[in-house]
Amino acid sequence: MCARVASYPQKLKLHLSVLIVLSWCMIATPWRHAFAADASPRVTLTVSQATPRQVEPLTQNAVLRDYKFAWANLAQALESNSAGAINGLFVGDASAQLVAQVNGQKKNGLSSRYENQTHKLEAVFYSPEGDILELHDTAEYDFEILDGGKSIHSEHAIVHYVVLMTPGADRWVVRQLQAVPRF
C-alpha cells in the first residue's frame, strides 16, 4: 500500500510534467497546422520582361488572383480526387490532363498533396491584343503521393512550369501547365 502512494515531491514532479506536455501541445498545434498544411498558395508576379505588350495593373491583379485559385483548386482536386474543383480555372489541354490524372488516381486508390506552395511568376509574353499570356512559374511545394492514405513518396520540390493563360468571361484561365527541367 505504501509503495503505491507517491510522495509529495513525486506528485509535484508528475503534475509539472503533465502541465508542460499539455502546454506544449496547446502552443505547438496551431503553429504546426499553420506551417505544415498551408493550403493557400503564395504567388508573386513580375511583369517587367513581358513583351510585346505591357501587362496592365488590373490584369496583373486578375492573373495573380486566378493563378492562385487555380493552384488551390489543383491541390484540392488531386487530394480529394474530385475533378469538379478543376472546372473553371483550367480549360482545354490543361483541364483534360488534370481530369485524366484525377481519374487515374481514383481508379488506383491514389491521391497526392501539394502543400506549402510558393509560386514566383514571371510574365514573358503578352500578345498584342492581350489575349494570350505566357508565364514562367518557379514553384516550390511539399509534394506527397499516397496510396490508400499511406505515404509512398514525399519531397520538397522546386519545379519550373511554362504556363499559358487566356482571358475568359470573368477570369484568366490556365490553358497549358507544362513542367520543364529549366527555363
Residues that bind another protein in the complex, under the rule CB under 8 A: 52, 93, 96-98, 100-105, 107-110, 112, 124-125, 127-129, 131-132, 134, 143, 145, 147, 152-153, 155, 157, 159, 162, 164, 176-181
Residue nearer to another protein on the CB measure, 57 or 181: 181
For residue 149, give the nearest of 116, 115, 110, 102 by alpha carbon.
Answer: 110
CA torsion through residues 43, 47, 52, 56, sign: positive
Question: Closest approach of Cβ 124 to another protein, in Å?
Answer: 6
DSSP run (H or E) holding 112: strand 110-126
Residue nearer to another protein on the CB measure, 89 or 164: 164
Residue nearer to another protein on the CB measure, 64 or 159: 159
Question: Closest approach of Cβ 62 to another protein, in Å?
Answer: 20
Work out the angle at residue 64's Cα, subtended by the Cα atoms of residues 144 and 119, and round it to the nearest 5 degrees.
Answer: 35
Question: Closest approach of Cβ 107 to another protein, in Å?
Answer: 8
Residue nearer to another protein on the CB measure, 82 or 108: 108
Residue nearer to another protein on the CB measure, 14 or 142: 142
> At 147, is the secondary structure helix, strand, or coil?
strand
| CA–CA gap between residue 183 and residue 179 (Å, rounded) | 10
Question: Closest approach of Cβ 164 to another protein, in Å?
Answer: 7
57-80 and 92-108 are packed helices; what angle lies between their axes, rounded to 10 degrees? 20
Q: What are phi and psi of 126, to 5 degrees?
A: -135, 115
> At 55, is the secondary structure helix, strand, or coil?
coil
Question: Closest approach of Cβ 83 to another protein, in Å?
Answer: 12
β-bridge partners, 139: 119, 159
